Amino acid sequence: MSKRHHVTTTINGEESDFLCEPRQSLLEVLRDVLKLTGAKEGCNDGNCGACSVLVDGVLVDSCCVLGVEAEGKQIDTIEGMAVNGELHPLQKAFLEETGMQCGICTPGFLMSSKALLEKNPQPDEAEIRHWLAGNLCRCTGYDKIIRAVQRAANEMAGEKV
């Protein structure tokens, strides 16, 4: 076994530290070391988006980021999306529009959508479809997911008024 590195980071707003091997991906660390299993392993090569998390506010495929790269970073995962038991507007909208798909792809869709609305609070349909092109699901027509993101965007805009 190669030498393990001590990494200090912030995950969902809480300081965290862990030991990881240099070869371990952030996805492996989250799931296997920290037991945060919301991010899923689909392709493990940057194509499906099931492992989506935010690193310092930037959407990444955590299977393509090394655990050691988390040093000093702010990591946001699906586990931190609901706050104090209150669902995020996107989670509510996915439920209301039946945008939920399976447990493998849905966390990634939600994290990607969250990143989109933080960057662009009022995206049009084309922008949503383009943004979510990195989240693959062969089981959906995507329409309900698009409607859910639009609904959440409208509700979040209303909340800010």
Nearer to ligand FES, 61 or 76 (CB): 61
Which of 29, 75, 93, 137 binds ligand FES (CB under 6 A)? It is 137
Which of 48, 111, 146, 149 binds ligand FES (CB under 6 A)? It is 48
Burial of 10 (0-12, 13-18, 19+ CB in 10 A): middle
Query: Judged by CB under 6 A, does residue 16 bind ligand FES?
Result: no
Query: Judged by CB under 6 A, does residue 102 bind ligand FES?
Result: yes
CB 117 within 8 A of CB 94: no
Nearer to ligand FES, 74 or 140 (CB): 140
Rounded least distance, CB 133 to ligand FES, Å: 13
Tokens of 34: 């920290």
Closest CA to 120 of 129, 4, 39, 14: 129
Nearer to ligand FES, 3 or 35 (CB): 35
CB 64 within 8 A of CB 25: yes
Rounded least distance, CB 47 to ligand FES, Å: 5
Strand partners, 55: 58, 75
Query: Judged by CB under 6 A, does residue 37 bind ligand FES?
Result: no
Q: How far is residue 109 from each of residues 14, 25, 30, 37, 83, measured CA to CA in Å?
A: 23, 20, 18, 15, 18
Query: Judged by CB under 6 A, does residue 61 bind ligand FES?
Result: yes
Nearer to ligand FES, 9 or 101 (CB): 101
Which of 51, 54, 65, 117 binds ligand FES (CB under 6 A)? It is 51
Q: Are strands 58-61 and 74-76 parallel, antiparallel or unpaired?
A: unpaired
The footprint of ligand FES (CB under 6 A) covers 41-44, 46-51, 61, 63, 101-102, 104-105, 137-140
